[in-house]
Chain A
Amino acid sequence: MAASALAPPDAGLRRKLGGKFRPPRRLKVTREGRYFLGITFGVGLAAINTGNNLLYLLLGVLLALILVSGIMSEIALRGLTVRRRLPTRAQVGRPHLVEIEVHNKKTRLPSYAIEVEDIRAAQPADKRCFFLKVSPQSTQVAAYRRTPQRRGREAHVAFRVATRFPFGLFEKSRQIEVPGELIIYPAVHTVRLPPPRARNIGVGARIAIRGGSDDLLGLRPYRPGDDTRQVHWRKSAAMGELVLREHAAEGAPDIEIELDDVSALVARPEPDDERKRWLDQFEIRLREAASRAVAHLGRGDTIVLRTTSATRIQGNPRLGSDPILRFLALLEPSATPVENKPKEPT
């Protein structure tokens, strides 16, 4: 989704990547590689000791294989671009798929056995996708599933592209910086809403509120059970059937939702039991606020969410639940209330 340019949280990472130069490769020896190196070393030693020329031949073959391995793994890693496709939304407790797309720019050579690891800031690197073969000039897509446990801004930093091709003896990897950001909404549960204020029950959930004001909204055919006091007799006579007057709702007030996000406890240094308790409570309250907001919007109400730190956001069914949930996802409790005028967060 939105891939804002994100500075990597670890400045050391940038230094390690060496700036504009070709990103360094990291080499690791696998278990089979250790055996292979051991045998090669043994053969070499034996060759030098005994002077058996056949051992020299064998040594040459083994060393040549190591060389070939290095070159082929380099070729496999070259010419690969990786893109991340984050889902439109993510929510705590709901699994989502992150797609990883690998494109092979090379014209003739495929890349085999590529492993891509998605590196996220402040998270262990545990999400890997494996691509058996990426043909030349083509793209391969794989996905991993993840269930976030915390709301907020999830920063994806880079990819680590590794391959143990061709022989599985060495693992060569390189890091590609591809920043990405995913906002993880708080979890939402169903709430029972209070009945709508002073309303006639409309024709359906999507119909906006018809109220008791004096504004004439329009006419509609009479259906059995309607209030007969609203019948527009003159029009009914003209049309030959009963029609009802419809009144627009009173300037329907917004539903207000309050959230307290200020506490002096926030300023205390960790670890602190009281602080932790307050934070847990805050999360519960935030979740409740989110659930109510979503329920109201689903019903078609407009809402206003206010926090004690003097921020406010309006929710409109036309815009959907996203803006409110995004606001709540990014909301961090503060220690002191903000002094200046209430601002609308973007």
Chain B
Amino acid sequence: MQALRPLPAPLPVLVRLRENIESALEGKPEVIELALVALLAGGHLLIEDVPGVGKTTLARALAKTLGGDMNRVQFTSDLLPADIVGVSVLDPARQQFTLRQGPIFTNVLLADEINRASPRTQSALLEAMNEGQVSIDGKTMHLPEPFFVIATQNPHDFAGTFPLPESQLDRFMLRIRIGYPTGQTEARLLSRAVLDTVQDVEPTLDPAQLVALQRQVKRIEIEQSILDYIIAIGQATRSTPSIALGLSTRGVVALGMAARARAFLRGRNYVLVEDVLDLAVAVIAHRIRIAAYAEGFTVGRDEAEVTIRELVARIPLPL
């Protein structure tokens, strides 16, 4: 029997990358894949989950495998923009202002509990994410490459929070939920009694390599019918009566980029429908606003995800 072409297989470096992070965060391969997708696509990640399931672990593991710098900022309500981007400080000794770069100047920035900070501080970060540069006192400085932000939110927090509006959330390519581990994993964690799993994570890439990979991802072409499929999804979100604010163009582009990254992660240089399907909820759910059913009627937080899943299921697949 003549064999058809060999099945796609990912690059070894990507396999190692994945394995590394999986060793730190056990039992969550889909989450890790989504995080890597955001990374390779050159976007930013928003993790929304209850405390203590591994948000920080994931972020730190990612940072460590990249071999670059990582900074962690705990967002509190008293955090000021200068605490993030940096400030120019008067040096009394030399009688001049020196620029002190804030924690944002790093490869991986973990912005913990981003919904606790004031909107002013939030926008400082988000603007910098968007533009890739920071202005302090009139001086513009570029952020390093690669620059990857992992922001976290506790969805159950109501006290003292400034939840990000959709227009700001739009800047995050993916929103993921980690969720509680399975019983098995929890048992294993207990038995090992290791508190810090990130210690053992080895750097797999260096920043330059990551940039090269990101460029490769950008070059992947998407076939016309899948492009049409993505656009159809976007248009569906805009025309469905149950969605008040549909997907923006940025969102559509993000879906395409994320699909490319996922294809690349799986060793393909072409995008399949499965890539788009698996990423739809993660890419779209946080960018849309569900229409209020009635005055004062509040909808559950899962409403967006359910709506997106139903909407995508209705769109005919390109065969």
**CB–CB under 8 A between A and B in the complex?**
yes
- Measured CB to CB, the residues of A under 8 A from B are 88-89, 91, 94, 139, 188, 190, 206-210, 217-221, 235, 239, 243, 246, 248-249, 294-295, 297-298, 300, 317-323
Residues of B contacting A235 with CB < 8 Å? Answer: 78
Bound: A246/B162 CA distance, A: 14
State whether the Cβ of B301 lies closer than 8 Å to any Cβ in chain A: yes
Report B299 CB to chain A, min CB distance, Å. 4
- Measured CB to CB, the residues of B under 8 A from A are 76-78, 80, 116, 118, 155-156, 158-161, 163, 242, 293-301, 303, 307, 316
Report B313 CB to chain A, min CB distance, Å. 11
Bound: A295/B301 CA distance, A: 17
Q: Once the chains bind, are B294 and A210 in contact (CB under 8 Å)?
A: no
Q: Once the chains bind, are B297 and A317 in contact (CB under 8 Å)?
A: no
Residues of A contacting B80 with CB < 8 Å? Answer: 239
Of chain B, the residue at the smallest CB distance from A218 is: B77
A-B contact pairs, 15 of them (CB 8 A): A88-B307, A91-B294, A94-B294, A188-B294, A208-B159, A208-B160, A217-B159, A218-B77, A218-B78, A248-B160, A294-B298, A298-B298, A321-B299, A322-B299, A323-B300
Report B75 CB to chain A, min CB distance, Å. 10
Residues of B contacting A91 with CB < 8 Å? Answer: 293-294
Contact partner of A320 among B76, B116, B155, B300, CB < 8 A?
A: B300
Residues of B contacting A243 with CB < 8 Å? Answer: 78
Residues of B contacting A209 with CB < 8 Å? Answer: 159
Residues of B contacting A220 with CB < 8 Å? Answer: 77-78, 118
Contact partner of A248 among B78, B156, B159, CB < 8 A?
A: B159
Contact partner of B160 among A188, A246, A319, A320, CB < 8 A?
A: A246
Report A226 CB to chain B, min CB distance, Å. 14
Q: Once the chains bind, are A89 and B300 in contact (CB under 8 Å)?
A: no
Q: Once the chains bind, are B296 and A208 in contact (CB under 8 Å)?
A: no
Bound: A249/B159 CA distance, A: 8
Q: Which 7 A-B pairs give the minimum distances between C-beta atoms?
A: A208-B158, A218-B77, A320-B300, A298-B296, A219-B78, A320-B299, A208-B159
Q: Once the chains bind, are A321 and B77 in contact (CB under 8 Å)?
A: no
Q: Once the chains bind, are B301 and A89 in contact (CB under 8 Å)?
A: no
Bound: A318/B298 CA distance, A: 9
Bound: A318/B159 CA distance, A: 13
A-B contact sample (12 more), CB < 8 A, given A235-B78, A320-B301 = A94-B294, A188-B297, A206-B163, A207-B161, A217-B77, A218-B78, A219-B78, A239-B80, A248-B159, A297-B298, A298-B298, A321-B298
Q: Once the chains bind, are B296 and A294 in contact (CB under 8 Å)?
A: yes
Bound: A188/B78 CA distance, A: 41
Q: Once the chains bind, are B160 and A89 in contact (CB under 8 Å)?
A: no
With most chain B CB atoms within 10 A of its CB, the pick from A209, A243, A318 is: A318
Residues of B contacting A318 with CB < 8 Å? Answer: 155-156, 158, 300-301
Report A206 CB to chain B, min CB distance, Å. 7
Report B168 CB to chain A, min CB distance, Å. 15
